[in-house]
Chain A
Amino acid sequence: MSDLSPPKGTGPLARLEAHLAWGLLAPTISAVALVVILPLLAIFWISVKPVSLSDLRAPEVVIREDIRGDDEAVGDAASIRYRLRNSSQDQPIRGVTITDTIPEGLTVSEIDPRCTLNGRDLFCDLGDWDGGFRESLMIPVTVEQAYLDNALRPQDSTAQTTGRASSMLTNGTFTFDNFKRVFDGDEFWSVLWVTLFYTVFGTIGALLFGLFAALLLNKSFKGQGILRGLYLFPYVSPVIAVAFAWILLFDPFSGSANALLIQMGVTQEAINFFGQRPLALIMVTLFEIWRYFPLSFLFILARMQSIDTDMYEAADMDGASPFQQFWYLSVPQLLGILSVLFLLRFIWTFNKFDDIFLLTGGNAGTRTLTVNVYEQAFAVSNIGAGAAVAVVIFGCLLAFSFFFFRFISQEEGL
């Protein structure tokens, strides 16, 4: 009789299943690797390189060709002019050469020592160029009948150029200046403080508003569906549309909010809501709360509707007042979803870019870390510094998510 024991290790069926699973996941993994992992690595690489916006294109030889002097009759002396320059102001190009074809009917009368003429093919070796180098190369020629007969002019044949230049993105220059720039001075701390204020108050505010709205709609009445749909509007509509609507509403010159406040006697003169120092930050935080309370509202409402009503009936029988019921029954039940929402929203608010960028552009003391990435990379044209800020953000994110996974594993749902 053979030995009957449970199979050990992975059987062929399990292996098949694992293969299939990886096969199904492969497209996703490769796409995500290409667009998420690779850029993340690139960010780390760029953050230690002195790259500015203009370095994105490697320096190259710019060439313009034309003919100078008379070329209208046989025997006229003219010259072909090549205007050459290095496209970069500070990066050198090594081993520059140009190759061109002299048109039919032009005889080269004198040749530059750096050039050689082979039949009609011109070849010049111009050596190494420093950044910002420019030169005009003249080739004197005599016009013959053949030139006048055909329509080919010197500029019609494109001159080929070669030259080696190192791109700032790929060469071996490294620097810690970017990080020094980012951490130097008070700016970083003020940016960090703004980010924290925005994140903490934006998250808590959205949660509280969401909780309030969920309490309102946690009963069935006519029009409940309409109100629920209505309260989701801010979240569903494009951020750019609602951000501009807010800007218009709170405009200091022609904004309705100011007109209303003046009419009601709250203020004497128009308030520049998005242009004053503490107020702008409060306004963008309010915008964040306004835009994202629907999300917390939806989650909290879903959780509320799954709470057993028997409990409330029992509490009612025992004489618990409405506030007591809320505090001792609802809140403990909602604590799970509230904390999960808090953590996720915290991370997402921390990552938020569009809202502040559209509302204030990071001015008037509203520059958060994410806006700073854009500011450094595009406004100041220092890609390296922008990448350094991005690395800082990524570091914070890793810390948050570590905390998140520690915490979430004990929590429900998500």
Chain B
Amino acid sequence: MKYLRFGYVTAPLLGFLWTFVIALTVAITMSFATGSAFRPSGLGALIWGAGLGFACLPGPMWKPIVAAIIVAAAGLFGFGPIVIGQGVSGLSSVLGAGATAGFAALGLWIILDDVDFGAINRHVSEAALIKFFTGFGYIFFTAIVLIPFYVMVLTSLKNQAELIQNPLDFSIDLSKGWDLFRSYDELFRQFDFGIYLFNSFIISVLTVFITLLFAVPGAYAVARLRFRGRAAFSRSILLIYMVPMIVLALPIYIAFSMLGLRNSLGGIIMIYPVTTIPVALYMLQGYFRGLPAEIEEAGLMDGLSRLKVIWKITLPLSLPAMASVSLYVFMIAWNEFLLAFMLLDDPSKFTLTRGIASLNSSEIPRQHLMAGSVIATVPIMALFLGLERFMTKGLTAGSVKG
């Protein structure tokens, strides 16, 4: 750490690391976007990054700009921080080399903001390090989150032959027009995904309603009313919330087989709410506790019964909590896989997740599988992005459920 407190050490070190990160990012991005050969070069990043580091120390603006142009030119001629393979189109090459040099210089300019060439104090060197890690963190997390979804969406738009020929080439041929969405079309026409979508939707909505119907009175009782065994009850909720589904799934499977409830949506609707009631109850009671009891007492004094108080005072006050609980329960029911997988065998009664599982066979092309995944993901994402505020609150309100 002590050696880091000299500008002539910090600048080239961070320069190298940052340039490498940027070169790697650009190489992956360009490869995924065009399918052409781009790769970062450790040696190039070391030499050019160190140079960029010195150039980006505080000083006149022209220094980093000139340095970036030199690095970009070096990249184009094949000995920069990013190596561009043979036969890559001119535009991609310029874009790749330019982006690498530009972002590297820009990042370093910000990172090395206060760093002097000579000795620097602890604050400055740590601030520079933190800025580097922040930049790295943004790139890293965005990349790991986006790449699987990017692969999912673009695979669904291509066909098997294209995929095997160059697994990196995700560029889409826009001239195909609507033909791009062929997998989706086939899923809806031949695989009944419309029905699955509808089933999933109905099941999730019903699950939300039934869950609230059970959980609201229960949560109110636990939060407000005094009775013997309240503490024990609220602990056992948490305990039940931790029982693994697979342990319950086995006897439920046996019971449903014997009662003939397998392969029926009714059976699924009976079972889903029970898995979500403890969560909902737990989240709601936390919220109810936070409501001022005085309002309810005022209602009681004015002659309302307890049930009326819940209906007319508590519920309207807790609409935001109800929204987040509903969203969360909807999400659990929509994403549920294990029970649907075990209990449903009849293709006309599949939920979306079960339907996707049935696409996982060697006879069905991969793009169908991915198109199915997109169909399942898009509604929940749309709902989630639209109501993100509620969702975040709902998730933190008491759910640590997987």
Contact = CB atoms under 8 A, between A and B. Distances in A.
Contact of B388 (A225, A290, A386): A225
16 contacts: A24-B220, A43-B251, A56-B258, A230-B142, A230-B146, A233-B145, A234-B145, A236-B391, A239-B335, A249-B148, A253-B164, A264-B40, A292-B402, A344-B400, A349-B402, A414-B400
Contacts of B248: 35-36, 39-40, 43
Nearest to A394: B247
Given A25-B233, A263-B37, A352-B402, A254 B163 contact: yes
Nearest to B354: A240
B320 to A, nearest CB: 16
A96 interface: no
A27 B273 CA distance: 12
Interface of A: 14, 17-18, 20-22, 24-25, 27-28, 31-32, 34-36, 38-40, 42-43, 46, 56-57, 169, 212-213, 215-216, 225, 227-234, 236-242, 244-246, 248-249, 251, 253-256, 258-260, 263-265, 290, 292, 295, 298-299, 302, 321-323, 341, 344-345, 347-354, 357-358, 370, 373-374, 377, 383, 386-387, 390, 393-394, 397, 400-401, 405, 414
A258 B31 CA distance: 12
A24 B252 contact: no
Which one of B147, B149, B225, B235 has the greatest number of beta carbons of chain A within 10 Å?
B225
Given A43-B251, A383-B254, A31 B214 contact: yes
- What DSSP secondary structure best describes chain A's contact surface? helix
A344 B399 CA distance: 10
Interface stretch (B43-51, B100-108, B110-118, B122-130): B122-130
A375 to B, nearest CB: 11
B27 interface: yes
A39 B255 contact: yes
- What DSSP secondary structure best describes chain B's contact surface? helix
B384 A43 contact: no
B386 to A, nearest CB: 10
Contacts of B134: 216
B227 A21 contact: yes
A295 B217 contact: no
Given A236-B331, A240-B356, A353-B338, A390 B221 contact: no
B240 interface: yes
B357 A248 contact: no
Contacts of B376: 237-238, 240-241
A345 B242 CA distance: 10
A230 B255 CA distance: 41
A248 B163 CA distance: 11
Given A233-B381, A348-B401, 5 more contacts: A40-B243, A244-B370, A349-B402, A351-B243, A405-B235
A353 B341 CA distance: 12
A381 B268 CA distance: 23
B277 A237 contact: no
Interface in B79-110: 85
Given A216-B134, A351-B245, A20 B145 contact: no
Nearest to A37: B240
A248 B155 contact: yes
A119 to B, nearest CB: 36
B334 interface: yes
Contact of A18 (B28, B227, B277, B278): B227
Contacts of B400: 295, 299, 341, 344-345, 348, 414
B369 interface: yes
Which one of A225, A248, A323, A358 has the greatest number of beta carbons of chain B within 10 Å?
A248
Interface of B: 27-28, 31-32, 37-40, 85, 122-123, 126-127, 130, 134, 137-138, 141-142, 144-149, 151-152, 155, 163-164, 166-168, 170, 213-215, 217-218, 220-222, 225-228, 230, 233, 235, 238-240, 242-248, 250-252, 254-255, 257-258, 271, 273-275, 277-278, 281, 306, 331, 334-335, 337-338, 352-353, 356-357, 360, 366, 369-370, 372-374, 376-377, 380-381, 384-385, 388, 391-392, 395-396, 398, 400-402
B32 A256 contact: yes
B166 A259 contact: yes
The 3 closest A-B pairs by CB, nearest first: A351-B244, A241-B373, A39-B251
B242 A351 contact: yes
A84 B227 CA distance: 62
A393 B247 contact: yes
A245 B156 CA distance: 10
A245 B250 contact: no
Which one of B163, B217, B254, B255 has the greatest number of beta carbons of chain A within 10 Å?
B254
Contacts of A248: 151-152, 155, 366, 369-370
B22 to A, nearest CB: 15
Nearest to B356: A240
A260 B149 contact: no
A213 B28 contact: no
A396 to B, nearest CB: 10
B392 A298 contact: yes
A227 B151 contact: no
A240 B122 CA distance: 48
A42 B251 contact: yes
Contacts of B141: 212-213, 216, 227, 231
A298 B151 CA distance: 25
B137 A21 contact: no
Contacts of B228: 18
Contact of A227 (B142, B281, B360, B391): B142
Given A18-B227, A233-B381, A241-B356, A377 B396 contact: no
Nearest to B217: A24
Nearest to B254: A56
A175 B395 CA distance: 44
B215 A46 contact: no
A239 B130 CA distance: 34
B16 to A, nearest CB: 18
A260 B37 CA distance: 9
A397 B227 contact: no
Contacts of B377: 237-238, 241-242
Given A31-B274, A43-B251, A393-B247, A265 B149 contact: no
A408 B40 CA distance: 48
